[in-house]
Chains A and B, each alone.
Chain A
């Protein structure tokens, strides 16, 4: 599989936060869900891809081009949707098109008008007066009008109502029907990822916790529940986000470690949401027995 996006050993240090050795790749024709808690480094990674943040070390390749030296050529073929609109809010869509059109060699005005109609976006209303869902659709319309081959979305669904979220996911599903395209979709709403993503990268505290196919992630982890005294010796150290309650415990477990478990312990498939919660719990509770007595 040819990668449309490839990140190797990305490091970026700020005073209070650092991305450490972030590596993952997105093959052509697929959607990758890029998930993690707020502050886990998703936006910094995206800013690094866009060359908006200067990386300390590592290598980012988009369409096989270097993200620093070939930044302009990459952006010709890249569409970006942020969580908020980045356009002049006092202009209407026609005026926005006049502004952006000269910057893109492949801008297609007919496509832009068609997208506006398809997305029910008026061309005579100031874009600042658009709803959040309409603003998202406008940014996607812009990306599609210059024939973007990769769309990067940074928390696009946060603050969207369920109908608008559903519409956005449908648009992305339709977009990816062309196998030469790709979508990197950063979000903390994991239901969206479970619905449309083929690949998942989980970022935690500036590091990649998991990257791979969504189905592999789903098969790799389970939520284990039961009484603490039933945990076999040596297993507790392998549990992730172990949390003891008055009547038992729960924790995330790798499915490789399920073999030979006593029948008293129950487990069920973990959702991405649950995986994120247990990763966070690992930081808060594990190896701190006094905190467990909640």
Chain B
């Protein structure tokens, strides 16, 4: 485990010098919108996570990290597992930041100081501030979804190579669209009935559901990490 944590730290220090610029910009933009217009908009802060993950493979390719991986006294498996744990922790940190911003937004209700309080637009804004469950759904939903996508992209690009990224994303996106289209058709023709679980309407229940979603993300990261580690261990550096 120690080696995995060393790898997490290594990855963070590799991207930290340029990732924080994107964090500050995103935080100003979506944090501001979240505080003033709709707390749920803090979910867009999830775009910060890729700033901390995507550059890692680019840096590794450009700087010849394959040689470094061969020199460091740590196994290739630990480095790969560390990458996926790092990916999970980045999403968890972003999610916590989003929850803090959402909490402040709901507590402060700053929209009250905006002009034209009687307009229909401001009524929608008011409703957004009143619905805490929707904010939590947005925060957990977007963050976990982005995390799962990132874990998949990380796994595929490590195994197949970064040059295959566009092809991988296109194939994955197409597969999702086709599956959704087929399911929609089957439901419409009453061949298939979807009995989706209802999400809790109270914030406490939403928090529990969100925590469960985080566990799903952790499981996806572990599975993708193990598949990638097994593939990379066989490969020569």
- Chain A residues proximal to chain B, CB less than 8 Å: 47, 50-54, 71-76, 78, 80, 82, 84-91, 95, 98-100, 102-104
State the Cβ distance, B4 to closest chain A Cβ, in Å. Answer: 12
Q: How far is the CA of A98 from the CA of B17 in the complex (A)?
A: 13
Stretch from B37-45, B61-69, B221-229 forming part of the interface with A:
B61-69
Contact A102 B9 (CB under 8 A): yes
Contact A50 B13 (CB under 8 A): no
Contact A99 B17 (CB under 8 A): no
Q: How far is the CA of A87 from the CA of B236 in the complex (A)?
A: 19
Residues on A with C-beta less than 8 A from B17 are 90-91, 95
State the Cβ distance, B82 to closest chain A Cβ, in Å. Answer: 11
Residue of A nearest to B59 (CB): A88
Stretch from B71-79, B84-92, B105-113, B211-219 forming part of the interface with A:
B71-79
Q: Is B209 an interface residue (CB 8 A)?
A: no
Contact B75 A86 (CB under 8 A): no
Residues on A with C-beta less than 8 A from B70 are 47, 50-52, 80
Q: Of B13, B67, B236, which is within 8 A of A99 by CB? A: B13
Residue of A nearest to B55 (CB): A90
Residues on A with C-beta less than 8 A from B63 are 85-89
Asked if A47 meets B14 with Cβ closer than 8 Å, knowing A82-B67, A103-B6, A103-B73, the reply is no
Q: How far is the CA of A209 from the CA of B237 in the complex (A)?
A: 27
Contact A98 B59 (CB under 8 A): no
State the Cβ distance, A8 to closest chain B Cβ, in Å. Answer: 21
Interface size (B, Cβ < 8 Å)? 23
Q: Is B170 an interface residue (CB 8 A)?
A: no
State the Cβ distance, B218 to closest chain A Cβ, in Å. Answer: 23
- Chain B residues proximal to chain A, CB less than 8 Å: 6, 9-10, 13-14, 17-18, 59, 62-68, 70-75, 236-237
Residue of A nearest to B13 (CB): A99
Contact A86 B67 (CB under 8 A): yes
State the Cβ distance, B11 to closest chain A Cβ, in Å. Answer: 9
Residues on B with C-beta less than 8 A from A53 are 236-237
Contact A99 B73 (CB under 8 A): no
19 cross-chain CB contacts under 8 A: A50-B71, A52-B67, A52-B70, A53-B236, A54-B236, A72-B75, A78-B71, A80-B67, A85-B64, A86-B63, A86-B64, A86-B66, A88-B63, A90-B59, A95-B13, A95-B17, A99-B14, A102-B6, A102-B10
Asked if A75 meets B71 with Cβ closer than 8 Å, knowing A54-B236, A86-B64, A86-B65, the reply is yes
Asked if A52 meets B6 with Cβ closer than 8 Å, knowing A80-B71, A90-B18, the reply is no
Residues on B with C-beta less than 8 A from A73 are 73
Q: How far is the CA of A99 from the CA of B59 in the complex (A)?
A: 14
Residues on B with C-beta less than 8 A from A50 are 70-71
The list of the 5 closest CB pairs from A to B, nearest first, reads A86-B67, A75-B73, A52-B70, A52-B237, A86-B68
Q: Of A72, A87, A89, which is within 8 A of B73 by CB? A: A72
Residues on A with C-beta less than 8 A from B66 are 52, 86
Q: How far is the CA of A80 from the CA of B72 in the complex (A)?
A: 10
Asked if A99 meets B18 with Cβ closer than 8 Å, knowing A47-B237, A90-B59, the reply is no
State the Cβ distance, A74 to closest chain B Cβ, in Å. Answer: 8
Residues on A with C-beta less than 8 A from B64 are 82, 84-86
Q: How far is the CA of A74 from the CA of B70 in the complex (A)?
A: 12
Contact B236 A98 (CB under 8 A): no
Residue of A nearest to B65 (CB): A86
Residues on B with C-beta less than 8 A from A89 are 62-63
Asked if A75 meets B237 with Cβ closer than 8 Å, knowing A84-B64, A102-B6, the reply is no
